[in-house]
Amino acid sequence: MSTTNRKRKILIPLATLLGASAVAVGSGASFTSTSAHAVSVTSGVLTHTNDHNGETLAITNLRPGDTATGTLTIVNDGTIDSTLTLQETASTNGFTAGDLTLTISQDGTEVYAGDFGGLADASLLDLGALPVDASTTITYTIALAESAGNENQGQAASASYQWVTTQTSSPATVTEWLTGLI
């Protein structure tokens, strides 16, 4: 057999195969399948409210032996569990040491008792967990000692406090598949 015949025997079937492939691809005779999904991500919100935010508890005309109280409520109205701390940011006290006292209670439990302004400025008093939608009530009790002398007449004291909520370290991430969002 000649070389030309051999080439024809190979080329004719090869050309037929290529032609058939072109017809199959060009005809659109193929199956496909598609599906879809989406991923949606939102971050949590860390926020709390204080029912006396920006207000001052003003106590006037305090006499020896008098006690005055004030309460406030803090609510975690965010979406992230937190811990609550109280920070005294500034204080002055013109009264004789030990004569003007402050007691701070949280939900009826004493968390601080001492001289008014005695919380170290800028230190944090840990008040524990404040989960989402939870609230806590803080009561301030200020007392002028019965034994307070005349040197305390006309004196003044003040303190500024800041509430700090910090996210808890435990994971609270919610992962779920939702339908109909695409």
In a domain, 162, yes or no: yes
CATH code of residue 56: 2.60.40
E strands present in the chain: 48-50, 67-76, 82-93, 100-106, 109-115, 124-130, 135-144, 157-167
Q: Give me the pLDDT at residue 3, please.
A: 58
In a domain, 34, yes or no: no
User: Residue 145 is part of which domain span?
Assistant: 48-167
Domains of the chain: total: 1
- pLDDT tens for 58-92 read 999 999 999 999 999 999 999 999 999 999 999 99
Instruction: Report the run of H or E that residue 36 belongs to, with start and end.
Output: none
Helix or strand or coil: residue 6? helix
In a domain, 109, yes or no: yes
Residue 56's identity, in one-letter code, is: T
Report the pLDDT averaged over residues 169-177.
69
- pLDDT tens for 97-145 read 999 999 999 999 999 999 999 988 778 899 999 999 999 999 999 999 9
The owner of tokens 């001492």 is 114
Residue 131's identity, in one-letter code, is: P
> CA 99, CA 109: separation in Å to the nearest integer?
23
The owner of tokens 């926020």 is 47
> pLDDT category, 41, cuts 50, 70, 90?
confident
